[in-house]
Amino acid sequence: MGKYVKKALYEQLTWHGFSSSAVQYAIDHLNAD
């Protein structure tokens, strides 16, 4: 995923109250593809 997409996803998820660590894990997991 592009950096812009990651940033938008991160901001949207954290806005909804997800912890940053959980978001980072999810992003890293998606990038594993």
DSSP string for residues in 1-33: --HHHHHHHHHHHHHTT--HHHHHHHHHHHHT-
pLDDT score for 10? 75
Q: Which domain holds residue 30?
A: 1-33
pLDDT score for 19? 63
pLDDT score for 27? 77
pLDDT score for 7? 84
In a 10 Å sphere around its CB, with 0-12 CB exposed, 13-18 middle and 19+ buried, how is residue 15 labelled? exposed
Alpha carbon distance 25, 20 (integer Å)? 8
pLDDT score for 2? 80
Number of domains comprising the chain: 1
pLDDT score for 13? 72
pLDDT digits (tens, 9 = 90+) for 1-33: 688 888 887 777 776 666 667 777 877 887 765
